Amino acid sequence: MKAHKGLAVALLVVGLIAGCSKEEAKHPANAPAQEVGPQPAPKEKAGTIPVGPGPQGTYTVAAQPAPGSCHYRYTSDKQPLPDSNCTPGATNPKVSAANLADTICKSGYTTSIRPNTTITNPEKAANIKSYGYNGDPRDAEYDHLISLELGGDPNDPRNIWVEPPSPGHQNGNGPNNPKDGVESKLHTLVCSGKVALLDAQVAIATDWTTALAKVGFPS
């Protein structure tokens, strides 16, 4: 009886050793760890606003939406608004609430990141077709929906549109857009710490005519 027990124990030990050897063969203790390549970062969003590529050392002419695919909206007093599908706005990833003093609140910053007319002129011509604008091109501003001074992306087509002149404009007199004044006031409020950067960006991207009221400073 003892002999049988001894034989059974011996067989069990041999089986365990064999099993361990097989596992070691599959997963050697000294095998190098498998390297995992870098994973793509999730696409950033600033609230509900897309984030653009940011300032570039050399800009290239950006493709615009297809001709006739964008449609102006108008407020009750006939102020123009962009098509929110074509032009939802896009922010500059280099600008944040933490670095305002070194970016949009620093004199000369927006000039340093603005694309020149060799880029914006052909983009404007294509965007005129996107929106079907049929007025004098000289009276329409190729406008950053979220202005550069509010941390808008310099050349993302989602942030630029051909803005028609406002009511009362005289043909041939060049752009006449009260939106510019709203942008300047918001910039002052952001840089003085009275309005959060993201709040100003969302307000101007949603409806520039109500942006100041939306952030609590109606004109």
pTM of the predicted model as reported, rounded to 2 decimal places: 0.77
Are residues 185 and 216 in contact, defined by beta-carbon separation less than 8 angstroms?
Answer: no
Q: Which amino acid is at 78?
A: K
> Does the pLDDT value for residue 11 go beyond 70?
no
Q: What angle do CA 171, 184, 197 make, to 5 degrees?
A: 135
Question: In whole numbers, what is the pLDDT of the chain averaged over residues?
Answer: 84
Using CA atoms, how far apart are residues 168 and 210, in angstroms rounded to an integer? 20
pLDDT digit string (tens) for 118-170? 999 999 999 999 999 999 999 999 999 999 999 999 999 999 999 999 987 77
Domain borders along the chain are 46-214
